């Protein structure tokens, strides 16, 4: 039997998204609540395509994090909207 730890997180508390460069370990943090939120001119994209330190391209799946800004904006004002996260207990 596997035991899981469950966390309930309010959507409004998930406003910071971070990614770490696999090459140089630089961490990029984006505030999805900000209108500017690192948006590249006219693209509507909040996540960078490459590491700002070493210019290594991020995995192509990073583009899907751009959608989190839309989800966050739509759900943050609804009282009681939570995300449930279950993590297996270690040990």
| Average per-residue pLDDT for the chain | 80
Q: Which tops the pLDDT comparison, 60 or 39?
A: 60
C-alpha distances in Å from residue 4, one per residue of 10, 11, 13, 31, 90: 19, 21, 22, 29, 9
pLDDT for res 35: 66
Q: Which tops the pLDDT comparison, 11 or 35?
A: 11
C-alpha distances in Å from residue 36, one per residue of 3, 24, 48, 84: 41, 26, 13, 28
Give the lowest-confidence range in 5-9, 26-30, 36-40, 53-57.
Answer: 36-40
pTM for this prediction: 0.63
pLDDT for res 39: 54
Structure tokens at 84: 């449930």
Confidence bin at 57 (pLDDT 50/70/90) = very high
* Backbone phi, psi, residue 10, to 5°: -65, 135
Q: Which tops the pLDDT comparison, 46 or 59?
A: 59
């Amino acid at each position: 039997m596997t035991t899981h730890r469950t966390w309930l997180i309010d959507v409004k508390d998930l406003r910071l998204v971070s990614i770490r460069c696999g090459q140089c370990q630089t961490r990029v943090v984006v505030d999805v609540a900000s209108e500017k939120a690192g948006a590249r001119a006219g693209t509507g994209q909040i996540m960078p395509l490459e590491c700002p330190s070493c210019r290594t391209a991020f995995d192509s799946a990073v583009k899907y994090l751009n959608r989190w800004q839309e989800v966050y904006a739509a759900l943050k004002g609804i009282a009681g909207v939570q995300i449930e996260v279950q993590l297996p207990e270690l040990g």
